Amino acid sequence: QVHLVESGGGLVQPGGSLTLACAASGRTFSSYTMAWFRQAPGKARDLVAFMSWSGGTTRYAESVKGRFTISRDNAKNTVYLQMFALQPEDTAVYYCAAARLAYPYNAENCDSWGQGTQVTVSS
């Protein structure tokens, strides 16, 4: 397993942008698919995006396509989530996750989790 620590959350106005980062420890980071999930109060933890170990495959939730971009730097053991045109419905705790499964569409598919970082979109 890998140890994950997220950073970069905060309060932003509608239409604004934020970049989240997730730093991983462990020499096997590059072998994991890395994902971002989010969980709003009273709701399930849903996939936002994931990227394969090579970066060759990415998937996004329909609600964030065209607004969010996932990327990774295997040399730095870090995965990023750039978020643009943020909307109030994007408000949630955002979690970084690592998965041995190639396509981790569900939280149950992931092996390691960060502690989460709060993103609040409000005027």
Give pLDDT tens digits for 80-111.
999 999 999 999 999 999 999 889 999 999 99
Res 28: pLDDT? 81
DSSP SS3 for 88: helix
- Express each pLDDT in 27-67 by its tens digit: 688 889 999 999 999 999 999 999 998 888 999 999 999 99
d(CA 37, CA 72): 15
Res 55: pLDDT: 86
Record the tokens describing residue 48, joined without a space: 């936002």
The dihedral formed by the CA atoms of 61, 57, 83 and 36, expressed in degrees to the nearest 10 = 70
pLDDT at 26: 77
Q: Which of 1, 66, 71 is nearest to 31 (CA)?
A: 1
Residue 70's Cβ-side half-sphere holds a number of Cα atoms within 13 Å equal to: 28
Please report the pLDDT score of residue 79 as a whole number: 96
